[in-house]
Amino acid sequence: MTVTSVTVIGLGPMGQAMAGAYLDKGYDVTVWNRTPDKADGLVARGARRAETVAAALGANELAVLSLTDYDAVYAVLEQAPDALAGRTLVNLTSDTPVRAREAAEWVAARGAVQITGGVQVPPPGIGTPEAMTYYSGPKDAVEAHRAALEVLTGIDHLGEDPGLAALFYQIGMDMFWTGLVGYLHGQAVARANGISAAEFLPRAVKTMDFRYFLEFYAPRIDAGDDRGDVDNLGMAVASVEHVLHTAQASGVDGSLPAAVLDLFRRGVAAGHGRESLTSLLKVLHP
């Protein structure tokens, strides 16, 4: 039987988007948030406001959690541990793989099942065709609630280990935040020189399309092939030195390129100057 009712706990931007997507699909939606008035808009659209965590969990077998971190998860669930039995918790809260595994054990000890998730789109992407979420945990639980999960995004089930979704998510966030900060630093240099973000935008999109490099490096990384036949750390040091000097001359904080330059120089000092950028993996994870 297809479940068409769900509880959403945590009504930040992501939780709001998820509860809204369920309402749009005709689900019976119960919501709870530490600050009750955050549910007002959803209640006006037909959601039911639970006054307590126990009432929220008791309303449905399936509960979606979208909270700040696992400290917040425990702070919420510990208000009603007896209401967990028989529930499936889709925990879309960001935290570490270790904490995801610990939470899955904690939930299981109270008679519930945790499906760990890592959403790969921002709130406006919820319910769109290209949206995807990493999931891990019991495959039978994922399959039992596939229809409800697919209201939100597509499903990329990584395996039974509840920590896998958190691990894949954090790897992605590692690259995401590093890349965006690089973009902002470049725009600071651009603005300092009278170039608007709009003017540079098509160049930025082209520069940050890393597909060629990712597809080139991935098989070499797996093969341990750090040949410097296309790039090498010595060249990279010279390039980042130029970036740093340009930023400083523009009156822009140079701490970000300086940190990259320090890492590159450490690679050269370790004997990898004529090897590819991929040789930095030996520095990052000796």
Amino acid at 60: N
Q: In this predicted structure, what is the pLDDT of residue 255?
A: 98
Q: Is-contact 183 208, C-beta < 8 A?
A: yes
Q: What is the pLDDT along the chain (286 residues), one digit of tens a residue?
A: 567 999 999 999 999 999 999 999 999 999 999 999 999 999 999 999 999 999 999 999 999 999 999 999 999 999 999 999 999 999 999 999 999 999 999 999 999 999 999 999 999 999 998 999 999 999 999 999 999 999 999 999 999 999 999 999 999 999 999 999 999 999 999 999 999 999 999 999 999 999 999 999 999 999 999 999 999 999 999 999 999 999 999 999 999 999 999 999 999 999 999 999 999 999 999 9
User: Which residue intervals of the chain bear CATH 1.10.1040.10?
Assistant: 168-284
Q: In this predicted structure, what is the pLDDT of residue 208?
A: 97
Distance of CA 76 to the CA centre of its chain: 21
Q: In this predicted structure, what is the pLDDT of residue 245?
A: 98
What SS3 state is found at 49?
A: strand
Q: In this predicted structure, what is the pLDDT of residue 2?
A: 65
User: Which residue intervals of the chain bear CATH 3.40.50.720?
Assistant: 5-160
Considering the domain 5-160 in this protein, what is its CATH number? 3.40.50.720
Helices 233-249 and 255-267: angle between axes, nearest 10 degrees: 160
CA dihedral 189, 191, 195, 200 (to 10 degrees): 70
Q: Is-contact 204 183, C-beta < 8 A?
A: yes
| 168-284, CATH topology level | N-(1-d-carboxylethyl)-l-norvaline Dehydrogenase; domain 2 (1.10.1040)
Segments in the chain forming alpha helices (H) = 13-24, 40-44, 53-59, 70-77, 97-108, 139-144, 146-152, 164-192, 197-207, 211-223, 233-249, 255-267, 281-284
